C-alpha cells in the first residue's frame, strides 16, 4: 500500500441467534479497528436484520477499502443460498446473510462464508487457545450448542458440512431432527440453562460432562477450548469433568476457556476474510 492510498481492511459478520456482531479488521493480522453489535430482538425479521447489517457495512466503506468479506453464520449454507440447521432464528433459512447477498453488496470483493462454530475454531487455531495444537476441538455453549474439530490448521467440515452438529444428539425416546427438534441443544442451550435453579444447573452440567467425554473419546484431541455465552460459568465445574474423564478416557485433553468467550465467532469471520483476501 502506497503512503497516500486508501487503507485496506477486511469486513467480518458473525450472525448468531441472539445477536449479530460486525467488525472491520486488518487483513494482515486480523486486528479489529471497529466493531458493531445488532440485537436480534430489535428487528422484526431476518430480512430487516440483514438490511441493517449491510447498511452498517456500507457506512464503514466510506474511507476504507474493503479487500475481503468473511461471514460466520449459524447453520450450514446450502448450494441454493439457503441456510439449514438454524432453528434458533425463525426466518433465517429464507433470508440469511449468504455468499450471494454479500457478493452483490461488494462486487468484485472475495467473500467466504462458513458455520459460526467452525469459524470460531479456525480463529482459535490461528490466534487463540488452539494455536500450536495439532489436534484441537472448540465447543460452543451459547444459545446453540455445537462442536468443531481442527487438525493441522484446518477445520473438519464433514461430507455435508455438518460435522460437529451435536445439537441433534439424542437419547432414546426423544424427538429429533426429522420432527423439528434439536434434543441436546434444547436441553443444554443457553435459554434452557438460564431458567434452571442452582441445584438442577449443577446436575445438568455434570450430564453435559458425560456427553463431552463421549465426543472426546471419538476425536482424541490434545486441547479442548470452551466458548459461547455461558461457557465461563463452567470454570468452577471443570475439575469434576476432568475427574470423570480421567476414569474413562485413555487420554484426557487440556481444557481452556476461549480467548474471546463471546466473540470467537466474530474473530472466526475475520479469519475467513483474511483467508479470502488477495
224: pLDDT strictly greater than 70? yes
Residue 93 pLDDT grade (very low, low, confident, very high; cuts 50, 70, 90): low
**Nearest-angstrom CA–CA distance, 172 and 260:** 36
Query: In the chain, which ranges are continuous DSSP H helix?
Result: 46-60, 99-105, 116-127, 183-188, 190-194, 198-219, 238-248, 264-276
User: What percentage of the chain has pLDDT greater than the value 70?
Assistant: 90
The SS3 call for residue 54 is helix
Out of 115-124, 131-140, 259-268, least confident range: 259-268
244: pLDDT strictly greater than 70? yes
pTM of the model: 0.89
Q: What is the pLDDT of residue 180?
A: 87
**Nearest-angstrom CA–CA distance, 14 and 115:** 9
DSSP, residue by residue, 170-181: --TT---GGGT-
Across all residues in the chain, what is the average pLDDT?
Answer: 89
Angle (CA) 206 212 215, round 5°: 155
The SS3 call for residue 139 is strand
**Nearest-angstrom CA–CA distance, 164 and 211:** 13
Residue 278 pLDDT grade (very low, low, confident, very high; cuts 50, 70, 90): confident
Q: Which residue has the higher pLDDT, 87 or 152?
A: 152
**Nearest-angstrom CA–CA distance, 125 and 198:** 34
Q: What is the pLDDT of residue 80?
A: 47
Distance of CA 206 to the CA centre of its chain: 23
Q: What is the pLDDT of residue 248?
A: 98
Q: What is the pLDDT of residue 73?
A: 85
Domains annotated for the chain, with CATH where assigned, are 8-118+264-276 (3.30.420.40), 131-257 (3.30.420.40)
Residue 170 pLDDT grade (very low, low, confident, very high; cuts 50, 70, 90): very high
272: pLDDT strictly greater than 60? yes
84: pLDDT strictly greater than 60? no
1: pLDDT strictly greater than 60? no
Read off the pLDDT of each residue in 129-142 and give the average, rounded to a whole number: 96
Question: Cβ of 6: how many Cβ atoms within 10 Å?
Answer: 11
208: pLDDT strictly greater than 90? yes
CA-closest candidate to residue 216, choices 125, 265, 208: 208
**Nearest-angstrom CA–CA distance, 123 and 236:** 25
Q: Which residue has the higher pLDDT, 278 or 268?
A: 268
Read off the pLDDT of each residue in 113-141 and give the average, rounded to a whole number: 95
Q: What is the pLDDT of residue 77?
A: 60
DSSP assignment letter at 6: P
Q: What is the pLDDT of residue 252?
A: 98
Q: What is the pLDDT of residue 251?
A: 97
Segment 7-41, tens digit of pLDDT: 899 999 998 777 889 999 999 889 999 999 999 88
Out of 96-110, 155-169, 234-248, least confident range: 96-110
Provide the β-strand partners of residue 226: 139, 257
Read off the pLDDT of each residue in 239-256 and give the average, rounded to a whole number: 98
Q: What is the pLDDT of residue 101?
A: 83
Amino acid at each position: 500500500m502506497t503512503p497516500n492510498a486508501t487503507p485496506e481492511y477486511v469486513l467480518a459478520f458473525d450472525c448468531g441467534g441472539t445477536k449479530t456482531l460486525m467488525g472491520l479488521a486488518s487483513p494482515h493480522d486480523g486486528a479489529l479497528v471497529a466493531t458493531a453489535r445488532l440485537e436480534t430482538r430489535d428487528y422484526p425479521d431476518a430480512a430487516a436484520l440483514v438490511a441493517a447489517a449491510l447498511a452498517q457495512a456500507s457506512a464503514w466503506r466510506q474511507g476504507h477499502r474493503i479487500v475481503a468479506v468473511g461471514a460466520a453464520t449459524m447453520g450450514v449454507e446450502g448450494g441454493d443460498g439457503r441456510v439449514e440447521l438454524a432453528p434458533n432464528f425463525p426466518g433465517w433459512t429464507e433470508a440469511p446473510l449468504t455468499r450471494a447477498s454479500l457478493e452483490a453488496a461488494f462486487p468484485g470483493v472475495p467473500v467466504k462464508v462458513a458455520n459460526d462454530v467452525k469459524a470460531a475454531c479456525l480463529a482459535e487455531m490461528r490466534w487463540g487457545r488452539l494455536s500450536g495444537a495439532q489436534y484441537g476441538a472448540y465447543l460452543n455453549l451459547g444459545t446453540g450448542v455445537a462442536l468443531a474439530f481442527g487438525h493441522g490448521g484446518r477445520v473438519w467440515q464433514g461430507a455435508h458440512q455438518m460435522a460437529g452438529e451435536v445439537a441433534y444428539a439424542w437419547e432414546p425416546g426423544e424427538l429429533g431432527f426429522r420432527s423439528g427438534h434439536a434434543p441436546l441443544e434444547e436441553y443444554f442451550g443457553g435459554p434452557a440453562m438460564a431458567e434452571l435453579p442452582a441445584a438442577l444447573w449443577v446436575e445438568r452440567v455434570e450430564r453435559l460432562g458425560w456427553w463431552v467425554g463421549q465426543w472426546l473419546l471419538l476425536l482424541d484431541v490434545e486441547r479442548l477450548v470452551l466458548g459461547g455465552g455461558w461457557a465461563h460459568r463452567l470454570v468452577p465445574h471443570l475439575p469434576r469433568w476432568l475427574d470423570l474423564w480421567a476414569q474413562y478416557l485413555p487420554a484426557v485433553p487440556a481444557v481452556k476457556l476461549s480467548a474471546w468467550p463471546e466473540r470467537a465467532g466474530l474473530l472466526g469471520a475475520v479469519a475467513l476474510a483474511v483467508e479470502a483476501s488477495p
